[in-house]
């Protein structure tokens, strides 16, 4: 087992463990910190999979912005009262069954059709002097983003604008007390 | 390196944990966080397939998923704040006014 393989399996195990702890801890702040660990380990897997730019975006946007936003709103609420509440609804066994049926997808993902000969492009086996930038580089992502993905890119910016306006409208205190 | 099935398998396990958390937790913020776990699982499988097939489009799609997650966080937490103003607490058990 090579070093990269060992690191990948450590990262995957740590992801699963921190996700499990995140959804089962009683204190919401502890859950947030375990989700932070999960995001950092997912960023580590991205690094192993030649997605350096996405790893940086994952840390900056997910761990840095979105999670801190969640923590701010969590602190606005009464954390000790949330700790005293029951964690799970009465139907939690049903939720376990749903989760296990999704986890059956993990078994299906081991089907050999995912790794056929000929489709596999081993990243390490790619010639260095191949035409174009190396796979996963920022230049390649940028060319895709502003080339064939230009329209989805603009729609994403419109979506973010709508989300900003919507969040302000939702969180604003109504003047008339309506 | 590992086969792509290991990446997709861990992504499916993460998605399952997120789905369980979304269905079972009774705190609305932790339900939203479980949705973020599910979105991260989808990103993981997108990046895994992008690496497997040597195609940058998977990473571009993962970037869009991150943008949608940011929008979802903003709207969801705005809803939490608006809900918290009318009725303190973030439990979903007592939100029954739409229940017939």
DSSP string for A126-139? S-TT-SSSPTT-HH
Given CB atoms, is B83 within the 8 Å cutoff of chain A?
no
Residues linked to residue A88 through DSSP beta bridges, in sequence order? B25
Average pLDDT value over all residues in chain A: 81
Residue with tokens 């973020």: B36
pLDDT at position A11 is: 93
Cβ(B15)–Cβ(A105) under 8 Å?
A: yes
Selected residues 135-154 of chain A with any CB under 8 Å from a CB in chain B: 135-136, 140-141, 144-145, 148-149, 152
pLDDT at res. B40: 94
Q: What is d(CA B14, CA B19) in angstroms, rounded to the nearest whole number?
A: 9
Q: Which residue has the higher pLDDT, B90 or A25?
A: A25
User: A residues 1-40 near B, CB within 8 Å?
Assistant: 2, 4-5, 8-9, 12, 15-16, 19-20, 22-23, 28, 31-32, 35, 38-39
Dist CA A48 CA A33 (whole Å): 23
Structure confidence at residue B16 (pLDDT) = 92
Structure tokens of A116?
């056929």
In this prediction the pTM is 0.85
Residue that wins the pLDDT comparison between B61 and A176: B61
Question: What pLDDT band is residue A176 in, cutting at 50, 70 and 90?
Answer: low
On whether any CB of chain A is under 8 Å from the CB of B57, the answer is yes
Q: Are B19 and B38 in contact (CB under 8 A)?
A: yes
Nearest to B39 by CA among A100, A14, A58, A22: A58
**pLDDT of A28-47, one tens digit each?**
889 999 999 999 999 999 99
Q: Which of A93-97, B23-27, B47-51, B85-89 has the lowest mean pLDDT?
A: B85-89
Using alpha carbons, list the distances in angstroms from residue A87 to A25, A75, B77, B99: 8, 18, 20, 22
pLDDT class of A132 with cuts at 50, 70, 90:
very low
Q: How far apart are CA B29 and CA A25, in angstroms?
A: 13
Handedness of CA A107, A113, A115, A121 (dihedral sign): negative
Instruction: Note which residues in 58-77 of chain A have CB less than 8 A from chain B.
Output: 58, 61-62, 65-66, 69-70, 73-74, 76-77
Contact of B21 with B33, CB cutoff 8 Å: yes
Q: Is A158 on the interface with B (CB under 8 A)?
A: no
Query: Where residue A112 falls among pLDDT bands split at 50, 70, 90?
Result: low
Residue B66 confidence (pLDDT) above 80: yes
Q: What is the per-residue pLDDT for A117?
A: 52
- Give me the percent of chain A exceeding a pLDDT of 90: 36
DSSP codes of every residue in A36-77: HHHHHHHHHHHHHTT-HHHHHHIIIIIIIIIHHHHHHHHHHS
Shortest CA distance from B88: residue in chain A? A77
Angle value at C-alpha A95, between A89 and A98, nearest 5 degrees: 170
Mean per-residue pLDDT over chain B, rounded: 87
Q: Per-residue pLDDT for A173 more than 80? A: no
Higher pLDDT, A130 or B72: B72
End-to-end C-alpha distance for chain B, whole angstroms: 54
């Amino acid at each position: 087992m090579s070093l990269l393989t060992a690191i990948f399996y450590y990262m995957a195990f740590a992801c699963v463990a921190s996700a499990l702890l995140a959804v089962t801890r009683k204190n919401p702040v502890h859950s947030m910190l375990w989700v932070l660990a999960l995001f950092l380990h997912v960023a580590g897997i991205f690094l192993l999979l030649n997605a350096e730019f996405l790893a940086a975006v994952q840390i900056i946007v997910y761990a840095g912005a979105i999670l801190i936003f969640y923590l701010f709103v969590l602190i606005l609420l009464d954390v000790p009262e949330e700790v005293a509440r029951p964690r799970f609804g009465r139907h939690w066994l049903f939720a376990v069954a749903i989760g296990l049926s999704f986890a059956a997808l993990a078994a299906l993902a081991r089907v050999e059709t995912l790794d056929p000969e000929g489709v596999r492009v081993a990243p390490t086996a790619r010639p260095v002097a191949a035409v174009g930038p190396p796979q996963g580089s920022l230049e390649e992502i940028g060319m895709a983003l502003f080339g064939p993905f230009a329209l989805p890119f603009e729609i994403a910016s419109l979506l973010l604008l709508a989300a900003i306006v919507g969040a302000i409208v939702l969180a604003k205190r109504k003047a008339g007390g309506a | 390196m590992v086969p792509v099935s290991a990446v997709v398998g861990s992504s499916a396990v993460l998605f399952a944990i997120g789905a369980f958390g979304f269905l079972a937790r009774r705190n609305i913020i932790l339900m939203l966080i479980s949705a973020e776990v599910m979105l991260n699982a989808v990103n993981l499988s997108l990046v895994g397939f992008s690496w497997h097939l040597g195609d940058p489009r998977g990473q571009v799609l993962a970037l869009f998923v991150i943008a949608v997650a940011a929008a979802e966080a903003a709207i969801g937490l705005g809803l939490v704040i608006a809900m918290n103003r009318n009725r303190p607490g973030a439990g979903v058990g007592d939100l029954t006014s739409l229940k017939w």
